[in-house]
Structure 1
Amino acid sequence: MTVAHHGSHEPQDQVDAHPFLTKLDRTLGWMVEIPAALLVLADIVVLLAGVIFRFALHHPLVWSDELASILFIWMAMMGSVVAFRRGEHMRMTALVSSLSAQRRALLEAVALVASLAFLVLIAWPALINSIEEIDITLPALDIPNSWRAAALPVGVLLMALFALIRLGRTSTPKQMIQAAAIVGAIIGAFWLAEPLFEDLGRINLLIFFVGVVGATVFLGIPIAFAFGLGTLSYLALSTSTPLSVMIGRMNDGMSHLILLAVPLFVFLGLLIEMTGMAKAMVEFLASILGRVKGGLSYVLIGAMYLVSGISGSKAADMAAVAPALFPEMKKRGASEGDLVALLSATGAQTETVPPSLVLITIGSVTGVSIAALFTGGLLPAGVLGAMLCLVVWFRNRNEDIRGVKATPLLRIIKLFLIAFPALALPFVIRATVIEGVATATEVSTIGIVYAIVAGIVVYRQFDYKRLIPMLVSTASLSGAILLIIGTATAMAWGLTQSGFSKWLAQLMAALPGGAGMFMAVSLVIFVVLGSVLEGIPAIVLFGPLLFPIAKQLGIHEVHYAMVVVLSMGLGLFAPPVGVGYYAACAIGNVSPDAGIKPILAYLLALFIGIVIVACVPWISIGFL
Structure 2
Amino acid sequence: MAAPAVALHDPAAAARPAPAWLGALDRALGLLLEVPAAALVLVEVGLLLAGVVSRYALHNPLVWTDELASILFLWLAMLGAAVALRRGEHMRMTALVNRAGPGTRAFLDAFATAAALLFLLLLLRPGMEFAEDEGFITTPALEISNLWRAAALPVGLGLMALMAALRLLRQALGGGVPAVLGGVALAAALAAGLALAQPLFPPLGNLNLVVFFVLVVGAGVFAGVPIAFSFGLGTLGYLALATSAPLTVVVGRMDEGMSHLILLSVPLFVLLGALIEMTGMARAMVDFLASLLGHVRGGLSYVLLGAMYLVSGISGAKAADMAAVAPVLFPEMQRRGSRPGELVALLSASGAMSETIPPSLVLITIGSVTGVSIAALFTGGLLPALVMALALAALVWWRNRGEDLSGVRRASLGGVLRALVIAAPAIALPFLIRAAVVEGVATATEVSTIGIAYAVLAGLLIYRRFPLARLWPVLVETAALSGAILLIIGAATGMAWALTQSGFSRDLAHAMASLPGGAMGFLLVSVAAFVVLGSVLEGIPAIVLFGPLLFPIARQLGIHDVHYSMVVILAMGIGLFAPPFGVGYYAACAIGRVDPALGIRPIWGYLAALVVGLLAVTFVPWISIGFLGGR
- Interval of TM-score (by shorter of Structure 1 and Structure 2): over 0.9
Deviates more, 1:191-200 or 1:105-114: 105-114
Matched, 1:167 2:162: no
Structure 1 residue runs of 5 or longer lacking an equivalent are: none
Tell me the distance in 1 between the aligned counterparts of 2:313 and 2:77.
Answer: 24
The equivalent of 1:37 in structure 2 is: 38
Tell me the distance in 2 between the aligned counterparts of 1:8 and 1:186.
Answer: 22
Matched, 1:125 2:129: no
Tell me how far 1:120 sits from its aligned partner: 0.3
Tell me the distance in 1 between the aligned counterparts of 2:603 and 2:48.
Answer: 41
Q: Is the 8 A contact 1:4 1:92 kept in 2?
A: no
1:588 paired residue among 587, 592, 596 = 592
Matched, 1:145 2:166: no
1:366 paired residue among 367, 370, 395 = 370
User: Secondary structure in 2 aligned to 1:135?
Assistant: coil
Alpha-carbon deviations, 1:431-457, whole Å to 9, x = none?
212332211110000000000000001
The equivalent of 1:62 in structure 2 is: 63
Tell me the distance in 1 between the aligned counterparts of 2:260 and 2:363.
Answer: 14
Q: Is the 8 A contact 1:530 1:578 kept in 2?
A: yes
Tell me the distance in 2 between the aligned counterparts of 1:317 and 1:323.
Answer: 11
Tell me the distance in 1 between the aligned counterparts of 2:384 and 2:139.
Answer: 42
The equivalent of 1:100 in structure 2 is: 101
Alpha-carbon deviations, 1:580-622, whole Å to 9, x = none?
0010000000011111111111101100100000000000000
The equivalent of 2:19 in structure 1 is: 18
Tell me the distance in 2 between the aligned counterparts of 1:8 and 1:242.
Answer: 32
Tell me how far 1:13 sits from its aligned partner: 5.8
| Residues 251-290 of structure 1: pairs in structure 2 closer than 5 A | 251-290=255-294
Q: Is the 8 A contact 2:171 2:177 kept in 1?
A: no
The equivalent of 2:137 in structure 1 is: 136
Tell me the distance in 1 between the aligned counterparts of 2:158 and 2:395.
Answer: 51
Tell me how far 1:403 sits from its aligned partner: 1.8
Tell me how far 1:9 sits from its aligned partner: 11
Tell me how far 1:114 sits from its aligned partner: 1.0
Percent same amino acid among aligned pairs?
65
Tell me how far 1:179 sits from its aligned partner: 2.4
Tell me the distance in 2 between the aligned counterparts of 1:8 and 1:182.
Answer: 19
The equivalent of 2:414 in structure 1 is: 410
Alpha-carbon deviations, 1:154-207, whole Å to 9, x = none?
011011111111111112343333223211211111111111101000100000
User: Secondary structure in 2 aligned to 1:246?
Assistant: helix
Q: Is the 8 A contact 1:53 1:60 kept in 2?
A: yes
Tell me the distance in 2 between the aligned counterparts of 1:221 and 1:573.
Answer: 20
> Given the superposition, is the C-alpha separation of residues 452 and 477 from structure 1 closer, same or farther in structure 2, using an over 3 Å criterion?
same
Tell me how far 1:146 sits from its aligned partner: 1.0
Tell me the distance in 1 between the aligned counterparts of 2:111 and 2:443.
Answer: 44
Tell me the distance in 1 between the aligned counterparts of 2:510 and 2:8.
Answer: 44
The equivalent of 1:564 in structure 2 is: 568
Tell me how far 1:98 sits from its aligned partner: 1.9
Equivalent AA in structure 2 for residue 145 of structure 1: N
User: Secondary structure in 1 aligned to 2:96?
Assistant: helix
User: Secondary structure in 1 aligned to 2:189?
Assistant: helix
2:449 paired residue among 416, 422, 445 = 445
2:514 paired residue among 499, 510, 513 = 510
Matched, 1:184 2:217: no
Equivalent AA in structure 2 for residue 151 of structure 1: A
> Given the superposition, is the C-alpha separation of residues 289 and 409 from structure 1 closer, same or farther in structure 2, using an over 3 Å criterion?
same
Matched, 1:209 2:210: no
Matched, 1:71 2:75: no
Deviates more, 1:462-471 or 1:367-376: 462-471
Aligned residues between the structures: 622
Tell me how far 1:54 sits from its aligned partner: 0.6
TM-score for both structures, normalised by structure 2? 0.97
Tell me the distance in 2 between the aligned counterparts of 1:42 and 1:9.
Answer: 33
Q: Is the 8 A contact 2:519 2:559 kept in 1?
A: yes
The equivalent of 2:254 in structure 1 is: 250
User: Secondary structure in 2 aligned to 1:199?
Assistant: helix
The equivalent of 1:352 in structure 2 is: 356
Q: Is the 8 A contact 1:96 1:219 kept in 2?
A: yes
TM-score for both structures, normalised by structure 1? 0.98
Equivalent AA in structure 1 for residue 495 of structure 2: M
The equivalent of 1:343 in structure 2 is: 347
Q: Is the 8 A contact 1:527 1:570 kept in 2?
A: yes
Equivalent AA in structure 1 for residue 6 of structure 2: H
Matched, 1:519 2:523: yes
Tell me the distance in 2 between the aligned counterparts of 1:139 and 1:231.
Answer: 32
Tell me the distance in 1 between the aligned counterparts of 2:408 and 2:402.
Answer: 14
Structure 2 residue runs of 5 or longer lacking an equivalent are: none
Q: Is the 8 A contact 1:254 1:486 kept in 2?
A: yes
Q: Is the 8 A contact 2:171 2:180 kept in 1?
A: no
2:582 paired residue among 578, 583, 586 = 578
Tell me the distance in 2 between the aligned counterparts of 1:557 and 1:21.
Answer: 52
Deviates more, 1:128-137 or 1:180-189: 180-189
Structure 1 segments (4+ residues) deviating >6 Å: 8-11
Q: Is the 8 A contact 2:352 2:576 kept in 1?
A: yes
